[in-house]
Amino acid sequence: MPLRKLWNSLRRHNARPIEKVAQDASVEQSIVKLNGSPDPEVVEAAIKPRTASKHVSELCSTLQKLEPETILEIGVGDGQRALEYLSGLRDLGSPVRYFAIDQFELADGELSLREFHQMLRNAGIRPQIFPEPVAAGLTRFLHTIGSADVVLLNQPIPEVDIQQVNSLLRRISNDRTSILSLNDGKQWVPMSIGLDSDRLAA
């Protein structure tokens, strides 16, 4: 084979298509862009600690003074309140058993049962949840747990259920139970339900 033909054959064998070269160059540029320095604003937003709301901080302080061993929360909202005060109590060396009553997605709640459970588990908190209406949840709590040292009420009670709910709250109360209600979503205030034969029969 003449030298010229041999040379051309070798060149065709080693050449890369122009489209392939352009594609590889584009990929390399994408890799450089992805591996480049991150946006400082994005990093700052990601690592910026969440500041607890004022009423959550006050609630955590109140709970620390009450020194409960069990907390029952009725109505969890977006879940952040429970996450913050439970984490705060744990950091202060006052871990508690936590229970919650909420219907979540079944009542168009702010988050699903799965999301709430995962949120707390990711923080090392093991909740026990009753995903049902308040009266049914209190009944099951009464029969399985017995009593709570603190009850946090953050959910409107239908007028038709108020008498039954108050009766159940009395039955799950012990000598040191405090029932706190979130007043207009701003301040936790003691809620008085009185005592009657329901509690004595529990």
**pLDDT tens-digit series, residues 36-88:** 444 444 333 333 344 445 557 889 999 999 999 999 999 999 999 999 999 99
Task: Give me the torsion for CA of 16, 22, 27, 29, rounded to 10°.
Answer: 130
Q: Report strand pairing: 173-183 vs 70-74.
A: unpaired
Measured CA to CA in angstroms, residue 79 lies from 91, 104, 123, 152, 199 at distances of 18, 10, 12, 13, 30
Domain 54-201 falls in which CATH fold?
Rossmann fold (3.40.50)
The CATH 3.40.50.150 portion of the chain extends over 54-201
Q: Does residue 163 have a pLDDT over 70? A: yes
Q: Fill in the amino acid letter for 157.
A: I
